[in-house]
A and B are shown apart, each in its own frame.
Chain A
């Protein structure tokens, strides 16, 4: 890949079975990460702060749920709130959208990934985790079109391998990662 590429955003998408992966990865991310991390998980509307709290107790970096027009900062992890699509207004600002579900999902991984790809172009890195749903595929394709970096949880390690397997069938990913290697890989994307 081109040497002038510099990760400006790390997206993580997942559904069934992906929380345990996050709990493995988050504690080992370096504190001076040079880009923001945005996590889009399928989850039930309603009990929102539970997840934020859980991830926070297992994270080296501050984790917060995104609200409308929040300014995003390097070294911080943002969680897409339940029941809203997450979009990027520009490189600094997230917007929320309460429009139709996509792939039966809101937030939809496709919607967030596509929006990020249009803003961050080749400097997008996206990791797709365990999941039972097709949501995420088109988002990964879109990021590939813009020349971004595709990362995938090793299907052999996924609680539900459907989603990562679909990606493997259809596109070339830069890196297939086991949960215990994810943080190390993310850390070396650092521009500092």
Chain B
């Protein structure tokens, strides 16, 4: 789309301030480049012809806020994305957690749940599912509703099945779901140990202690200051010797956590090795 930008940079600041004032959502420290694309997109989809129109609607119609959040957050996700990452979880990281009587895992920014179901499958296959609990959270209640249903489009399943094999899986991914027309429904025992809940990384506090936190492809939407604040939240929520896993192009290098964590074998997984604050 080369429609001239509907919203100018200065107007974005104004809009985000408004939203933070009127509602409990603070997007002022989101990465501007992505946010700008999403704002232009929502103006086109919802046919706002000016910034003023979008602003008026947002301030005066609380029911529009949810749609706004759904559209400006990016919820693209996949099962077993980056198969080698999942392989590391399967062969090393998760088994090392097996000595804990109770394994708590937090998937922050889980979107529609593909990651959570992937982790559940790994835990089943290495025999740790029954002693584990997965907290899968997101800012967007809409995606969590979908995640809790466990119903996904059939189209990408072939790709997911390939990823699953590359991650060290030895079954056919289809043993975990039943196909129904153009979608598949994952067996409900896979989600018996997953708790889906809203949690806003910007404003909500730590709510438990975990041995493993996954937050992949969420921090790319935050500026550096906010990233550091969220790293602190993760640090406060991780047990000593726990693991923090990030997306393929994200890093804790150059962050305040750098010296307290050790990277695991070149993967985007870091182990908490120091717990003085």
The 4 closest A-B pairs by CB, nearest first: A87-B33, A99-B74, A98-B217, A68-B220
CA distance A87 to B37 in the complex (A): 10
CA distance A164 to B129 in the complex (A): 54
A67-B251 in contact given A88-B33, A95-B31, A95-B33 (Cβ < 8 Å): yes
Chain A interface residue count, Cβ-Cβ cutoff 8 angstroms = 26
Say yes or no: is A8 at the interface (Cβ < 8 Å to chain B). Answer: no
Flag B229-259 by CB within 8 Å of A: 1 or 0 each: 0000000000000000001111100000000
Find out whether the CB atom of A97 lies under 8 angstroms from the CB atom of B74: yes
Find out whether the CB atom of B219 lies under 8 angstroms from the CB atom of A97: no
Find out whether the CB atom of B2 lies under 8 angstroms from the CB atom of A114: yes
Residues of B within 8 A of A (CB): 1-2, 4-5, 31-34, 36-38, 74, 76, 217, 219-221, 223-224, 227, 247-251
Say yes or no: is A135 at the interface (Cβ < 8 Å to chain B). Answer: no
Residue of B74, B224, B248 ringed by the most chain A CB atoms within 10 A: B248
Residues of A within 8 A of B (CB): 66-69, 81, 83-84, 87-90, 95-100, 111, 114-115, 118-119, 138, 141-142, 145
A81, A83, A115, A141: the one contacting B33 at CB < 8 Å is: A115
CA distance A69 to B224 in the complex (A): 8
Find out whether the CB atom of B1 lies under 8 angstroms from the CB atom of A138: yes
CA distance A98 to B37 in the complex (A): 12
- Interface contacts (Cβ under 8 Å), in number, total 67
Residue of A83, A84, A89, A97 ringed by the most chain B CB atoms within 10 A: A97
Residue of B5, B31, B74, B247 ringed by the most chain A CB atoms within 10 A: B31
Chosen A-B contacts, 9 in total, with CB atoms closer than 8 Å, are A67-B249, A67-B250, A87-B34, A97-B37, A100-B74, A100-B76, A115-B37, A138-B1, A145-B2
| Besides A68-B249, A95-B34, A97-B37, 5 new A-B residue pairs in contact (Cβ under 8 A), listed by A number | A66-B249, A84-B220, A87-B31, A114-B2, A115-B33
Residues in A neighbouring B217, C-beta threshold 8 A = 98
Find out whether the CB atom of B219 lies under 8 angstroms from the CB atom of A68: yes
Residues in A neighbouring B74, C-beta threshold 8 A = 97-100
Find out whether the CB atom of B33 lies under 8 angstroms from the CB atom of A89: yes
CA distance A146 to B160 in the complex (A): 41
CA distance A119 to B2 in the complex (A): 15
CA distance A90 to B31 in the complex (A): 10
Find out whether the CB atom of A84 lies under 8 angstroms from the CB atom of B31: no
A84-B2 in contact given A89-B32, A97-B34 (Cβ < 8 Å): no
A68-B5 in contact given A97-B34, A99-B34 (Cβ < 8 Å): no
B31, B76, B247: the one contacting A89 at CB < 8 Å is: B31
CA distance A141 to B3 in the complex (A): 11
Find out whether the CB atom of B2 lies under 8 angstroms from the CB atom of A138: yes
Find out whether the CB atom of B2 lies under 8 angstroms from the CB atom of A141: yes
Find out whether the CB atom of A142 lies under 8 angstroms from the CB atom of B33: no
Which B-chain residue is minimally distant from A66 (CB atoms)? B249
A96-B2 in contact given A67-B251, A81-B248, A115-B33 (Cβ < 8 Å): no
Which A-chain residue is minimally distant from B4 (CB atoms)? A145
CA distance A81 to B168 in the complex (A): 24
Residues in B neighbouring A83, C-beta threshold 8 A = 248
CA distance A114 to B2 in the complex (A): 8
Which A-chain residue is minimally distant from B36 (CB atoms)? A118
B77 to chain A minimum Cβ distance, whole angstroms, is 8
B85 to chain A minimum Cβ distance, whole angstroms, is 12
CA distance A89 to B224 in the complex (A): 11
Residues in A neighbouring B2, C-beta threshold 8 A = 114, 138, 141-142, 145
B253 to chain A minimum Cβ distance, whole angstroms, is 9
A117 to chain B minimum Cβ distance, whole angstroms, is 9
